[in-house]
Structure 1
């Protein structure tokens, strides 16, 4: 399988796993969904879990790049960017194929903290935390690490609740809570 075919497989698998979940989607169904035979898949990925890890790496790269680009397009200063996170989430929640967070799903389906898939999900959240901490530090927060953890916690909660309830209300409430957190942090 060529690199471009491999990339195409990972992209199609990402969409299928995001929609259906990891355990629920077997390799036979994945082969039908992607148009790639199981034999061809196993030539590039020794296990389904290796394919899942490849999809998580791709999703991490795509999502973080998109989030940061959108946040930086919406606000010029660090304080505004911390709030813009929630505006950007609102854009994501409004997408017709929004199905919550792939990393939350992965950590739920692979709960052992030592499992590589759980680790990939945790790493995604760590990288988002690092971005929020950088913004909090630049904004002059009294305790930037604490504020970054709080923003991440608020963001994660908003993702889950937007999947369960009215996304517009959730975004408005999360943004208002973020404003309170920033004020409490001296930002």
Structure 2
């Protein structure tokens, strides 16, 4: 196994375990066991748990953001399309809310910078999607709707929180 394969196996294991059980509840030995990567190589690739957590969140950010962007690209109504994408995500098996908010909830200010970067990127994406001439606060309001729907769905998985948030977003767009 080369370093690339080892890195992918470690990140796959980290993502599954951290997202399901929480960052603090999962030790490096558990990651090693789940990935099948020897402990020496794990620590050579990720010298500290913090570096593995950052790498896991960075990879998740790239994949999550790319999926959302692809879903809304070319949509006749891009803002409602965001909430349609969320509704599908909320129904995925194993959905446990936002990995970035979960990480911040566990680690507080010690959470990796990628948590803040992810939220800033989401805000920027929403700002790109609002219609020309919309009030500047609309992107802020949409971010609150996305985050609120995601938090509610983490407690009660299913599409309904996204559908309700979409209704509110459509009201804001009509104003």
TM-score range, shorter chain: over 0.9
CA–CA separation in structure 1 for the residues paired with 2:59 and 2:108: 21
Aligned length: 174
For 1:147, the equivalent position in structure 2 comes to: 138
What TM-score do you get using the length of structure 1 for normalisation?
A: 0.87
Does the Cα contact within 8 Å between 1:72 and 1:81 map onto a contact in 2? yes
Does 1:175 find its partner at 2:169? no
For 1:34, the equivalent position in structure 2 comes to: 35
TM-superposition CA deviations, 1:99-153 (whole Å, max 9, x none): 11100111111111xx351x211110100111111111xx114323x11111111
Q: Alignment partner for residue 94 of structure 1, among 91, 102, 117?
A: 91
Does the Cα contact within 8 Å between 1:158 and 1:171 map onto a contact in 2? yes
Does the Cα contact within 8 Å between 1:67 and 1:85 map onto a contact in 2? yes
| CA apart distance, 1:165 | 2.2
Q: List structure 1 runs of 4+ shifted beyond 4 angstroms.
A: none
Question: Structure 1: any 5+ residue segments left out of the alignment?
Answer: none
For 2:69, the equivalent position in structure 1 comes to: 68
| C-alpha RMSD of matched pairs (Å) | 1.5
TM-superposition CA deviations, 1:134-175 (whole Å, max 9, x none): 111xx114323x111111110011011011125232122111
For 1:46, what is the secondary structure of its paired residue? coil
Counterparts in 2 of 1:34 and 1:141: CA distance versus 1, 3 Å: farther
Does 1:82 find its partner at 2:74? no
| CA apart distance, 1:65 | 0.2
| CA apart distance, 1:28 | 1.6
For 1:128, the equivalent position in structure 2 comes to: 122
Greater mean alpha carbon deviation, residues 96-105 or residues 162-171: 162-171
Does 1:165 find its partner at 2:159? no
Does the Cα contact within 8 Å between 1:141 and 1:147 map onto a contact in 2? no
Question: Structure 2: any 5+ residue segments left out of the alignment?
Answer: none
For 2:100, what is the secondary structure of its paired residue? helix
CA–CA separation in structure 1 for the residues paired with 2:20 and 2:32: 15
